[in-house]
Amino acid sequence: MLQVNDIHTYYGHIHALKGITFYVSQGEIVTLIGANGAGKSTTLNTISGILKPRTGSVLLEGAPIHTKPAHKVTGLGVCQAPEGRKIFARLTVRENLEMGAYTRKDKAAIQEDMERVLELFPRLGERLHQPGGTLSGGEQQMLAIGRALMSRPRLLLLDEPSMGLAPLLVEQIFRIIQDINKQGTTILLVEQNAQMALAIAHRGYVLETGMIALEGTAKELREDPQVRAAYLGAT
């Protein structure tokens, strides 16, 4: 479904991604794990079109999307719930969700998806008319995921959904991510919490300093001694 070919992305003179290649197949949860600064978010933003790769290509079902601006990429069915949630603090919860469906024109289906999202996250339903900025961290994360779902993405990009949340809440959010996947959305998950990510993902890639250091199925990565030592905190 998504094929990323040898992308090199720069911030000015800083060479952030040094040739990343990976793929995501229909129906999968694929995770990118790695330490701070490994290039995980940069990779997601390159796919989203916020950053442009200097060389390499990003193909969505065979068609290049790395040449398109971010708002066009969203229209093609790739939506990101960004790192730090980035909800619109002064828009109400409902307006935030409506912004997620910005590229769509099918009003009836948008309403259906709104109901589906509220079913997924009942807490958002209680806060529908509150400004997004008044939500707690966990609720904001739910809103960010719900907002991305409102675009009815074929591929959902999640950037650190566990960041700053209590462990119980993280489990809840990851269960919901799994549910979303079972309902047919392909997911690319960027996480520092490798344990949780590898528990729900089918396959994973380990990023180190802008390169892919390791790849494999989630099970292989969970059992890999290097990964266990570096990311899972096993002794």
Partner 1 sequence: MEATTSKKLSNRSRFNLGSIASMLVAVVVGAFIVWRVGLVITTKHYPMSLWGLQLANGLVLGGVYALLALGYTLVYGILFMINFAHGDVMMIGAYAGFFSLQWLKSQGLVETQPVFSLLFVLFVGMIVAMIVGIVLERLAYRPLRHAPRLVPLISAIGASIFLEQAALRIFGPKLRVYTKPPLIQGGWDIGSTGIFVTRTGVLIMVMSLLMMIGLYVMIQYTKVGKAMRAVAEDQQTAALMGVDVDQVIVFTFALGSFLGGAAGVMLGFHNGQVDFMVGFIPGLKAFTAAVLGGIGNVPGAMFGGVFLGLAESLGPTALGIPSQYKDVIAFSLLVLVLIFRPTGLLGEILSEKKA
Binding positions for partner 1, rule: CB under 8 A = 48-50, 69-71, 74-75, 79-80, 82, 86, 88-91, 95, 98-100, 102-103, 147, 151
Residue 96 C-beta: closest distance to partner 1, Å: 9
> Rounded to an integer, what distance in angstroms lies between the CA atom of residue 162 and that of residue 226?
23
Which CB, 44 or 207, lies closer to partner 1?
A: 44
Which CB, 151 or 186, lies closer to partner 1?
A: 151
Which CB, 95 or 171, lies closer to partner 1?
A: 95
SS3 state of residue 16: strand
Q: Rounded to the nearest 10 degrees, how much is the dihedral formed by the CA atoms of 138, 140, 141, 142? A: 90
Residue 13 C-beta: closest distance to partner 1, Å: 16
Q: Ramachandran region of residue 169, left (φ > 0), alpha (ψ -120 to 50) or beta?
A: alpha
For 13, phi then psi, to 5°, come to -95, -5
> Rounded to an integer, what distance in angstroms lies between the CA atom of residue 169 and that of residue 14?
36
Which CB, 79 or 197, lies closer to partner 1?
A: 79
For residue 136, the tally of other CB atoms under 10 A from its CB is 12
Q: Is 204 in contact with 195 (CB distance < 8 Å)?
A: no
For residue 133, the tally of other CB atoms under 10 A from its CB is 11
Residue 173 C-beta: closest distance to partner 1, Å: 19
Which CB, 13 or 90, lies closer to partner 1?
A: 90
Q: Which neighbouring-strand residues pair with 204? A: 31, 216
Which CB, 56 or 75, lies closer to partner 1?
A: 75
Residue 143 C-beta: closest distance to partner 1, Å: 12
Which CB, 42 or 48, lies closer to partner 1?
A: 48
Q: Is 153 in contact with 79 (CB distance < 8 Å)?
A: yes
Residue 225 C-beta: closest distance to partner 1, Å: 37
Residue 99 C-beta: closest distance to partner 1, Å: 5
Residue 151 C-beta: closest distance to partner 1, Å: 6
Q: Tokens 């520092």 label which residue? A: 192
Distances 75 to 42, 80, 155, 181 between C-alpha atoms, Å: 20, 12, 11, 20
